[in-house]
Every structure is written in C-alpha cells, then in structure tokens.
C-alpha cells in the first residue's frame, strides 16, 4: 500500500513538472506572437494562468519569472518587468482560491485589477526605466496618436493608451488561458490543485510578517547599495555628477530593485508554503486532534486516543517527536481514565449492593413487605418514563433522574428499621399512637440517608433518596405527613413514589387485610384519590403505563431488579 502511495506521488510530481514546463513554453511562445503580427500586445502570461490553475500559485510565479529571465538575454529590461509577471500570478492565485477560474466571465473580472498593476503602475515603472523621459517607451507612439484627438495632458494620454493596451492584452490572455485549461482537463483528465486556506492562523501570520519584513529590508538595502555603487561609478569612471548622476542612479537602482523584488516575492511565497507544510499545518493538525481528544467538539472528553495517535507528522524534526509524545500521553490518559471508570463502577456497584442489602434487611423484619421495595422501584421507573414520553416534566425527568429514582426507590421505607416489630407486623389496624410511631419511619429514613451522605459525600441518588424517604407519604392536597406539603412543594420523585407505594400496598396482602384486586386499586387511585392524595398528571401517566405496571406486578419476585 505504501509503495502504491509513493508511486502515485511520483507520478503526480512528474505530471506537475510537465504542466509547469508547458506553462513556461506557452509564455515564451505567446510573447513572440505580437511581434510577428505587429500587435501592441504582450501575451506573455498565458502560461502563467495555466500553471496557476493546474499546479499552483507559486509555480505560476516561477513560470512568469523564468520567462522574463529568458528574454532578458535578448533585452535586459525584460528582467525588470518580471516583477509584474509575478504580481499577476499572485492575483491569479488568490482568484483561483476563491473559485474565480471556473467560468471565463469570472476570470475576466480580474482584468480591472490587473490593469491597475500592469497598466497604471507599469506606466510609472516604464517612466522610471526610461530615465523619466515621457517621450520614450512602448506607449509613447500611441499616446501621440491620441493627442491629436483628445485635448488632455500627455502623461494622462500615456496612461490611457497603456490601459487600453493592457485591457485588450489581458482579455485575450485570460481567454486563451481558459481555453487551454479546459482543453487540458478534457484531454488528460488533469485535476486542479488544492485551494489554499483563506483563514490565516496566528502562527502563519507572524511567519508571513517576519519573512516579508526581512525580505523587504533586504531589497531596500540592495537598492541603496546599488544606487551608491552606481553613483561612485558615474563620478569616478564616467565623470557624471549633479542631477544627471542622481537620475541615472535612481534608474539603475530601481531597475535592479524591481528585478530582485520579483524574485523576492517568489521566494517569500515559497518560504510561506514550505513553512505551512513543515510547521503551520502540522501544528494545526496536532491542535485539532487535541481539541477532539479533550472533547471540544462536544464528544466525551479523553475517550478516544485514536484522534491523536492517527495523526502522522513526518517532518523528521522536533514536531514529529512532539506528536509521538502527544500520542503516548493520549493513550496513557485513556488507559488511566478507563481504569478509573472501572474503579468507579466497582464503587457504584458496591453502593447499590449496600442499598439492596438494606432493603433485604427491611424485608426480613416486615412480613408484609415481601418484594415491596423491588416492585415499587419498578413501578416508579415505569411511571417516570411515561411522564417523559408524554412530554411532562421533561426538563426534570432526564435519564439521570430515572436512573437515580430506580436506585433510590428501594430506600423509601428504610426508616421502618426503627419501628418495633409489634407495630410493623400487627395483624390489625394500628391505633392512633401506633400510627404516629409508624409515621416516624419517614423522618428516620431521612436521617439514615443524611448520615450516609455525611459519610460518603454528595451522591445524586442518595440526595434523591433523602426526598423519597421523607416525603413519599405527603398528599397532593397537603393532608399527608410528615410536613403536610402540598402540590409541587412535594419533590417530583416523592409524588411518583407515592402512587407506586400505594398501588403495591393495595394489591398486596397485609396482616390486617386481604389484597385488593387490581381493578379496585385502580379505582381508588384514579377516581377516589386523584387530585387529593395524588397529582393528577402522575395518575394519568400511571394509567397510560398501567399494562407495564401490571406486568411488573405479576413478575416473579426474584426476577425483579432492585436498584
């Protein structure tokens, strides 16, 4: 697989090199056509646009620069104009990144911008190259022709003539380039290169600023040095002094600076691209991987080390070592958290087993309880889920709420451990004094849970158990005990538990009564005590889930979960 990838990469590089060479050849050929036809055009950037689209902006700059260097052997001033070829390639590259090369109409929208750089700025540059003589230069002849028809200042006529030539040149250049690109895609199926990211990262911005400032400083230094050395040459060797000396020095230095600036822009862009691949992109990859690992994308934190270990940095330097260490650290963190979660599961299991044991202790003392704690826990869970399905109390009844309710429900009668056996198992109805003692199981249960919370710390299901034990005998109309709360003053978990507790008590045998039929129990809950003892909305959920509740009641006691 790796060999196939390497082979594919080599073929891709060879194809790009061939396209680059074709672009340089097109530039050289295009520059010859106007001279052969006697046209005031240039057509020396057709290949530049072609290379920008098929290979990239930096190769496009290089193609423009190489073409001008080649022609500079015949006419040295071509080297100075390489600056504008590089600028055109830069404009084209930015336009390509914005998708402006997909349609010819979009490409032609670049003409005004290019005219500004190659027309107006180019005319000013030509004036400098010609020693500030307005009568010289390519556009001088056409400006003189316009002067016969337009009563405008000669410098302005030169700019108009230059812009007119540039508009015609760039429209024709872009059109031919567009056709060549489409022909290449059709014949060879070549695909365009990747668009550059328009979002400049802070690291990349600092690197661009550093390279640009240092490069510009170098160019200015070269300009000053060139002017100084040429000044000395003209004074000592030629004997030219005064204004003419300064003019020639400025022309020489400016020409050399322009030639160097074109190469400098190419070098800056190449350096930035190289830094992107060897520094910025790897850092960005590692940053994104760590964001995913710590859960910045909304997923569980530290759950998947693969998002870090799968990142491959092949820079053969400190970045590659850093990625390797990050991958090791991520794997170690995941293993540590998994081990910690396993221990937490063991602790939670131990706590739940303690709850089950406490419930079993109650069952062993209360002959009427039987599997009461298990059945009521199952009923409470069913009612809570039904409420959520009905869209009632959805902000409160979450998965966590239901989980905690199911675990805490078996503790609702834990306070009965303080009730004497004679009262707990009396085969007749309790008198007032005995009933008052029985009612204390709510506050005793609360105290037991509070003590557990003091010893174990804040645990959600124990906090819910505190409400369940104390308030599961409160009535919706305020006539319950121990505090006489009413309505929504009663915690939701206790309002749910109240129905689960009463339904099981009604349908179970007691020393002082036989079990009621399910129909009779439903009659009491849904008709007689709805709105008085029980919250109507919870009763409605109980009725909608009744089939499930009845199925749970008929389930063998040993098969019922407890917490």
Residue with tokens 């040149």: 169
Q: What is the DSSP code string of 156-185? A: HHHHHHHHHHHHHHHHHHHHHHHHHHHHHH
- Could you tell me if 82 and 262 are in contact, meaning their C-beta atoms sit under 8 angstroms apart? yes
Nearest to 366 by CA among 462, 509, 471: 509
Task: Give the phi and the psi of residue 239 in degrees, each rounded to 5.
Answer: 85, 20
Length of the chain: 563
Task: Give the phi and the psi of residue 131 in degrees, each rounded to 5.
Answer: 70, 30
Output the six-digit token pair for 430.
């309790």
CA quadruple 342, 344, 350, 356: dihedral sign: negative
Instruction: Please give the pLDDT value at position 81.
Output: 77
Q: What is the DSSP code string of 188-257? A: H---PPPPPPSS--HHHHHHHHHHHHHHHHHHHHHHHHHHHHHHHHIIIII---HHHHHHHHHHHHHHHH
Instruction: Please give the pLDDT value at position 345.
Output: 81
Q: Which residues contact 15 (CB under 8 A, 6 or more apart)?
A: 190
In angstroms, the CA 422 to CA 511 distance is 12
Instruction: Please give the pLDDT value at position 296.
Output: 56
- Could you tell me if 468 and 408 are in contact, meaning their C-beta atoms sit under 8 angstroms apart? yes
Residue with tokens 């009668």: 413
Peptide bond preceding 482 in cis form (omega within 30 of 0) = yes
HEC-encoded secondary structure of 241-256: CHHHHHHHHHHHHHHH
- Could you tell me if 101 and 53 are in contact, meaning their C-beta atoms sit under 8 angstroms apart? yes
In angstroms, the CA 202 to CA 180 distance is 38
In angstroms, the CA 404 to CA 115 distance is 73
Instruction: Please give the pLDDT value at position 39.
Output: 84
In angstroms, the CA 500 to CA 337 distance is 38
Instruction: Please give the pLDDT value at position 163.
Output: 83
Q: What is the DSSP code string of 424-486? A: HT-SS---HHHHHHHHHHHHHHHHHHHHHHHHH---HHHHHHHHHHHHTT--TTS--SSS---
In angstroms, the CA 359 to CA 409 distance is 10
- Could you tell me if 507 and 515 are in contact, meaning their C-beta atoms sit under 8 angstroms apart? yes
Q: Does the reported pTM lie above 0.75?
A: no
Q: What is the DSSP code string of 373-409? A: HHHHHHHHHHHHHHHHHTTSSTTT--HHHHHHHHHHG
Q: By three-state DSSP, how is residue 66 classified? A: helix
Q: Residue 525: is it exposed, middle or buried by C-beta count within 10 angstroms (0-12/13-18/19+)? A: buried
Task: Give the phi and the psi of residue 215 in degrees, each rounded to 5.
Answer: -65, -40
Instruction: Please give the pLDDT value at position 292.
Output: 85
Instruction: List, in sequence order, every residue forming a beta bridge with 530; answer none if it has no partner.
Output: 534
Instruction: Please give the pLDDT value at position 199.
Output: 60
Distance separating the N- and C-terminal Cα atoms of the chain: 53
Q: What is the DSSP code string of 324-348? A: HHHHHHHHHHHHHHHHHHHHHHHHH
Mean pLDDT by 10-residue block, N- to C-terminus, for the chain (563 residues)?
58 86 92 85 90 89 88 76 85 86 88 80 71 69 79 82 87 93 80 59 74 79 83 81 78 77 82 82 86 71 82 85 90 89 81 68 58 86 95 94 91 87 84 92 91 79 91 96 95 96 89 87 94 96 95 70 50
For 364, half-sphere exposure in the C-beta direction (CA atoms, 13 angstrom radius) is 6
């Amino acid at each position: 697989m790796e060999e196939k990838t390497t082979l594919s990469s080599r073929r891709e590089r060879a194809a790009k090199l061939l396209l680059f060479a074709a672009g340089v050849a097109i530039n050289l050929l295009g520059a010859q056509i106007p001279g052969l036809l006697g046209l005031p055009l240039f057509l020396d950037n057709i290949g530049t646009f072609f290379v920008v689209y098929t290979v990239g902006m930096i190769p496009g700059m290089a193609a423009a620069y190489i073409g001008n260097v080649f022609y500079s052997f015949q006419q040295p001033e071509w080297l100075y104009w390489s600056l504008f070829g590089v600028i055109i390639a830069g404009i084209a590259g930015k336009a390509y990144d914005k998708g402006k090369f997909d349609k010819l109409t979009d490409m032609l929208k670049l003409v005004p911008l290019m005219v500004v750089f190659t027309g107006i700025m180019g005319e000013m540059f030509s004036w400098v190259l010609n020693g500030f003589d307005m009568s010289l230069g390519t556009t001088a002849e056409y400006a003189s022709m316009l002067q016969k028809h337009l009563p405008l200042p000669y410098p302005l006529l030169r700019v108009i003539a230059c812009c007119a030539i540039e508009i015609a040149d760039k429209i024709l250049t872009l059109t031919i380039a567009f056709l060549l690109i489409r022909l290449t895609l059709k014949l060879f199926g070549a695909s365009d290169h990747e668009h550059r990211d328009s979002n400049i990262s802070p690291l990349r911005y600092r690197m661009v600023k550093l390279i640009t400032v240092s490069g510009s400083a170098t160019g200015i230094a070269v300009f000053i040095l060139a002017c100084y050395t040429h000044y000395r040459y003209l004074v000592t060797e030629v004997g030219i002094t005064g204004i003419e000396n300064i003019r020639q020095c400025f022309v020489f230095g400016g020409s050399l600076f322009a030639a160097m600036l074109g190469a400098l822009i190419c070098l800056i862009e190449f350096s930035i691209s190289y830094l992107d691949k060897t520094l910025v992109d790897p850092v960005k990859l590692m940053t994104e991987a760590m964001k995913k690992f710590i859960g910045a994308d909304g997923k569980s934190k530290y759950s998947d080390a693969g998002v870090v270990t799968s990142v491959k940095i092949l820079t053969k330097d400190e970045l590659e070592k850093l990625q390797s260490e990050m991958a090791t650290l991520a794997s170690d963190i995941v293993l540590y958290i998994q081990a910690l979660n396993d221990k937490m599961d063991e602790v939670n299991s131990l706590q739940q087993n303690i709850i089950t044991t406490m419930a079993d202790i109650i069952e062993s003392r209360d002959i009427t309880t039987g599997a009461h704690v298990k059945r009521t826990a199952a009923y409470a869970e069913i009612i809570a889920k039904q409420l959520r399905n009905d869209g009632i109390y959805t902000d409160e009844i979450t998965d966590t709420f239901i989980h905690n309710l199911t675990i805490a429900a078996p503790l609702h009668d834990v306070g009965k451990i303080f009730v004497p056996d004679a009262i707990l198992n009396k085969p007749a109805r309790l008198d007032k004094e005995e009933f008052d003692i029985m009612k204390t199981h709510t506050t005793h249960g609360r105290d037991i849970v509070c003590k557990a919370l003091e010893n174990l710390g804040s645990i959600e299901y124990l906090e819910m158990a505190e409400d369940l034990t104390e308030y599961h005998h409160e009535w919706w109309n305020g006539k319950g005990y121990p505090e006489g709360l009413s309505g929504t003053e009663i915690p939701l978990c206790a309002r749910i538990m109240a129905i689960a507790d009463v339904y099981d008590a009604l349908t179970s045998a007691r020393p002082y009564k036989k079990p009621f039929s399910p129909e009779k129990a439903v009659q009491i809950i849904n008709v007689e005590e709805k709105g008085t003892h029980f919250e109507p909305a919870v009763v409605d959920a109980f009725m909608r889930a009744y089939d499930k509740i009845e199925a749970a009641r008929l389930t063998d006691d040993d098969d019922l979960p407890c917490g």
